[in-house]
Amino acid sequence: MTSHLPTHLFFAPSVVEHLLRYHSGDCVFVSPRQAIMAGGVALEREVPASGDLARQARDLLMQAREQGWHRAILLSAIPFTPEGTARLVIPRYVEAMPRTSQTGCAPLIESSGRRPARLLGMKPCPQSYQRLVQRAVQQIQRGVLDKVVLSRSLQVEAQVHLPTLLATLAERNPHGYTFAFDHQCQGHTRTLVGASPELLLAKCGNQVVSNPLAGSLPRTQDVAENQRRADYLRHSAKDRHEHALVVDAVASALGLFCRNLQVPAEPSVLETPTMLHLSTEIRGELKDASTSSLELALALHPTPAVCGHPTAAARDFIRRQEGFDRDLFTGLVGWSGADGNGEWAVTIRCADIGSDDVTLYAGAGIVAGSQPERELAETSAKMRTMLAAMGIESVMEAAHE
């Protein structure tokens, strides 16, 4: 899937070198197809997520064109709930290059000049999270919910070197979506960083693709054991039900915009450095090629992969029970061009990073048959994507003491 980028293009020799030149305030979005690093701000808006974001994006891109930015792109991170705020950015400069395999980027190890990482807190704690899973299962048994995604957050005192973290994430997750995007939180600038395995929506011309993930197990370093777990996922009635809820919702939403929608009958297993996921790649041909990637992504958001089903009931349960504001976690992050082409990933496997602290997030889909201990273990395994890249996995052990 090709893309249309601004006229101000600069090419780095490799994706890793590209990311190691990251500066504070840059926007980064690396997909399996290409790497984009954007700097400076030509235009920007902060708008309520409950508003017509697709129209706001079109207006901003049109304004950029009127000011001479003829091939501008828009980048954004959009929150989980409509009550949040989305920042829409038209950058001044964009570096772009095709994505190729990279080697030689060392993991991020805390330098001797930095304080060791220290656990500050978590919401909810492991015991409370397991009780929360039990309450969710009870609601499912009563027919109030079919599925709900319940998350945890982990707060860590740590100083992170963002360029090396981004390069490490991109190298370790070559089939994923590595991103960095600044936002304001209580008057302070923070950076949302992550390596999402899940493509919400990509569009090129009249072709669209979405790759929902649901139904997961932690990955091990043992090849035979990973194969056993992958086979288990393929045949697990509980995990296949969880996955089918997401696929059906995505296909139903895309079906309103597409003809010739292709939905595989069977899921495959996607392997990341820390997890195994049931995966289905859905492809379609748009009825109207002028429909933008952001409009399509917003029509899918939030999928049952990050919220639940039915959506309203699941979102209400999350709001009342989870115990923290997800903000940009389980939202969407990506880019769109003036021609409507673009890529949007689900904002998972991520962390919100400040000057000396990090907040990490992970969730698990709860359905009938979910076991609290297994769901807790799944969230811990998902957090290890970011913790390992930052070289601070030890705080996870402290979190369970």
- Which residues are known to be catalytic? 147, 198
Cβ atoms within 10 Å of 146's Cβ, excluding its own: 18
Cis omega (within 30 of 0) on the bond before 212?
no
Q: Which two tokens stand for residue 12?
A: 């780095």
Cβ atoms within 10 Å of 116's Cβ, excluding its own: 11
Residues 328, 84: Cα–Cα separation, whole Å: 8
One-letter-per-residue 3-state SS of the chain:
CCCCCCCCEECCCCHHHHHHCCCCCCEEEECCCEEEEEECCCEEEEEECCCCHHHHHHHHHHHHHHCCCCCCEEEEEECCCCCCEEEEEECCEEEEEECCCCCCCCCCCCCCCCCCCEEEEEECCHHHHHHHHHHHHHHHHCCCCCEEEEEEEEEEECCCCHHHHHHHHHHHCCCCEEEEEEEEECCEEEEEEEEECCEEEEEECCEEEEECEEEEEECCCCHHHHHHHHHHHHHCHHHHHHHHHHHHHHHHHHHCCEEEEECCCCCEEEECCCEEEEECCEEEEECCCCCCHHHHHHHHCCCCCCCEECHHHHHHHHHHHCCCCCCCCCCEEEEEECCCCEEEEECCCEEEECCCEEEEEEEEEECCCCCHHHHHHHHHHHHHHHHHHHCCCHHHHHHCC
